[in-house]
Amino acid sequence: MGRSPGAVAARSGRVTRRGQIGVTRTTVILEDEGYVRTRTAHVIGGGSRRRTVVHITESGRETVAELEEPSGARRGKAFGPIPDQISLHGREEDSTSLSHSLLAGSNVLLSGLPGVGKSSLARAVAEQVLSMGWTVRWAPCDSDTDAAVIGGMWLGDGAPSSPSAIVGACEGPRTLLVLDEAQELHSRHTGGVAQLLDEASGGNSSLLVISRSPSPFGLPDGFTEFKLEGLALEHARSLLPSDTDSATADSVAQALGGHPLALRLWSPEEDVPERGEAVQEYVQSTVMHRLSDEGTRTLDEFCIAPSSLRVSELFEAEGSDELDDSAILRWSGLMAEPHHLIRNVRRGSWSDNQSTELHSQAAGRWASRQGARARRMEGHHLVHSGGPDAEWVSENIHAIAEQDSASAAVLLEQALDLSGDESIREAAADLALERGEPEIAESHIEGLSEGVGRKLRSARLARLRGDPRSAEEMEAGALAEMTPAERTKSAIASLVRRYDDRLPGPIDSGLARELSRGVGTVDLSSLPEFERSAGSLALDLIRHGIALGTEDVAAAAEAHDAIESAMGPNHLQMAILDLRARLSSRVGGNASAEALASAHDLIESSDDLTEKTRLIHATLEATDSHPDWLVEAHASIAYAPLREDLAMHRRLCAQRWYWRGVLEPERRLSHWNEAISRFRMAECSAAAADLIGRMARAI
């Protein structure tokens, strides 16, 4: 098939308009079709004038591949924020050697100095394996990246969070898993990511981990190290401006040790660097020195940020064009950050007082903005300018965690390094429990003072580890130290959790009797007047669920009347309870067609995510042959976010993963691995153990 003008224009992945009318018109058409995106920037070797740089999109790459590959050839698929492809100079031997190792099934740690071209080499290798029909899953790291975030990049929306489930969902033959910029990981998440790599290294995918030396994992078991050095002289010279004379080019290339980024940063207006001068010294003495005041202020704002920023987020944006012209910025879509070599050199040039002042100013600026991202940024800058106080953490950490629990975990660790405040440590322990991280939770719990709070968290930790007997003993010890009202609320919460701690299906008769006895022993008179009705309603809902599960019609009617009296006959919850009653009446194991039709109508009309999810789960449980509309309804809520800080939501999320395993049998192992992890995070050890047994029998 012949190439279209668009295919020729997009082929290299990064081209520049040179002012020709035809190319400009073609580029506009390609951008309108989504095949490329453009931005203005300085082009290495292209003089001082800014050019329009054209980046090919993934859609463009796929179209080019279809046009250029011979009939029958099939290009692999790329997942995650894989960077734009660029032309490599002098890396043919490295590229061939690395690709051969990965294609043979090896796991490789690609290491080297910052700016030496590790990510560019990895991107070139990824292109090679894609052209051979492999799947590439790419994930870059920053300080807030944890195993779940990596899974989300490798797999997309609805990815699991536990390492075993992530690996189960993404590994496979002819698959390359890439972890870029591993040195950026915060120590809070290094262990979890190391576990993910360990799980993946034993599978049939190839792994490529890219890190500045030394890597945060050392050399992981099962990996070989590939160290990338500077370019040879003849290739290093090609990175310099084309009008550089041969003698000068040789001198500059030798002086900078063939370091690609340093060579790209050199300008003909500058002197030849001193031979043997360290790259970091060159960047500090020359590259930084040439920036204007505006460029320096913008660079400083980029350098103090915990992650990439949009230019629109900057408070000092005036110098962003200058930084781009100087090839100082690296881009990922709309997000930008300095090359890490430049960032590290700039950070190292500040005194402690200068660093504190920069972060203090930034904290004040971000405090003026709204939203969880602004609070995350504010918290980062507060940490590096003296530390957020306990009151700030208490007021803001839940909003940050709801949007991104990984970043909240990092912020809490940083705050604890600066302050031993008990409330911050409690928040760190609670978040670790909610995230299912027993070792981290234990380390924080051990630092708490003796008392009710420590005992209750220890009980949660025991349940997280699958030891309900120890959890009950610890909880009993805590109850003895509580006020009567606290004991009552704790007893109700425990009953709700135990009722939910099971897989879908008929409730065990022994558990039903235990729960019924427990409900009967709760003394609501110890609660304040305004809390009694809520406590009574929670108990009646448990009674109603037990009665339906054991087909006790009289008890179900009694509980129904009590709930209706408390909520009113027209409350949505009453319609849901009536539907549950109809669904529980089954013939041949399935609910009636009328009950399923009612469920369909109620699910379609429900706007509340939690209630809609519960309705879908109840309907799935009521029939063995799941109609298409019900499967589609579950798919529509499968990726919707639920709050990790609410126990009810954690349990609901675990049940959702269970049903995904039922409805998607081809991915059942991965989905149920995630469900087991989620049940444990929700402190439902019985449900987790039951599901482990089902998986073992299925295998």
Kindly indicate the confidence band of residue 66, based on its pLDDT and cuts at 50, 70 and 90. low
Amino acid at 576: I
Q: How far apart are CA 389 and CA 391, in angstroms?
A: 5
Instruction: Determine contact, residues 10/64, Cβ cutoff 8 Å.
Output: yes
The secondary structure of 122-139, three-state, reads HHHHHHHHHHCCCEEEEE
Q: What percent of the chain has pLDDT over 90?
A: 67
Q: Is the pLDDT of residue 399 over 50?
A: yes
Kindly indicate the confidence band of residue 394, based on its pLDDT and cuts at 50, 70 and 90. very high
Strand order, beta sheet including 223-228: 78-79, 135-140, 175-180, 206-212, 107-112, 223-228
According to the model, what pLDDT value does residue 275 have? 65
Least-confidence region, from 370-374, 412-416, 505-509? 505-509
Q: Residue 132's closest CA among 75, 202, 216, 71?
A: 75
According to the model, what pLDDT value does residue 281 have? 84
Q: Is the pLDDT of residue 6 over 60?
A: no
- Give the burial string for 247-282 (b: 16+ CB within 10 Å, else e): eebbebbbbbbbbbbbbbbbeeeeeebeeeeebbeb
Instruction: Determine contact, residues 434/174, Cβ cutoff 8 Å.
Output: no
Give the number of residues written for the chain. 699
Amino acid at 18: R
- How confident is the model over 642-665, as a mean pLDDT? 93
- Is the alpha carbon torsion for 348, 354, 356, 359 positive or negative? negative
The H or E element spanning position 538 is helix 529-549
Kindly indicate the confidence band of residue 404, based on its pLDDT and cuts at 50, 70 and 90. very high
DSSP 8-class letter at 116:
S
Tokens of 568: 């009113």
Task: Give pairs for 655-664: CB < 8 Å, separation 24+.
Answer: 655/504, 655/617, 656/613, 656/617, 657/160, 658/503, 658/504, 658/691, 659/504, 659/616, 659/617, 659/620, 659/634, 660/634, 662/620, 663/620, 663/626, 663/631, 663/634, 663/635
Q: What is the pLDDT of residues 110-149, one digit of tens each?
A: 999 998 999 999 999 999 999 999 999 999 999 999 999 9
Q: What is the pLDDT of residues 588-597, one digit of tens each?
A: 778 899 999 9
Q: What is the pLDDT of residues 666-692, one digit of tens each?
A: 999 999 999 999 999 999 999 999 999
Q: How far apart are CA 542 and CA 548, in angstroms?
A: 10
Q: Is the pLDDT of residue 93 over 50?
A: yes
For 95, residues 6+ apart whose C-beta sits below 8 A from its C-beta are: 88, 121, 124, 125, 128
Q: How far apart are CA 636 and CA 628, in angstroms?
A: 12
Q: What is the pLDDT of residues 213-231, one digit of tens each?
A: 889 999 999 999 999 999 9
For 139, residues 6+ apart whose C-beta sits below 8 A from its C-beta are: 80, 81, 145, 149, 150, 153, 154, 178, 179, 180
Please confirm whether the linkage preceding 214 is cis (ω < 30° from 0): yes
Q: What is the pLDDT of residues 281-317, one digit of tens each?
A: 888 887 788 899 999 999 999 999 999 999 999 999 9
Q: Is the pLDDT of residue 14 over 80?
A: no
Kindly indicate the confidence band of residue 51, based on its pLDDT and cuts at 50, 70 and 90. low
Amino acid at 22: G
Answer whether 0.75 is exceeded by the pTM. Answer: yes
Q: Is 109 helix (H, G, I), strand (E, B) or coil?
A: strand
Rounded to the nearest integer, the mean pLDDT of the chain is: 88
Q: Is the pLDDT of residue 48 over 50?
A: no
Q: How far apart are CA 537 and CA 534, in angstroms?
A: 5
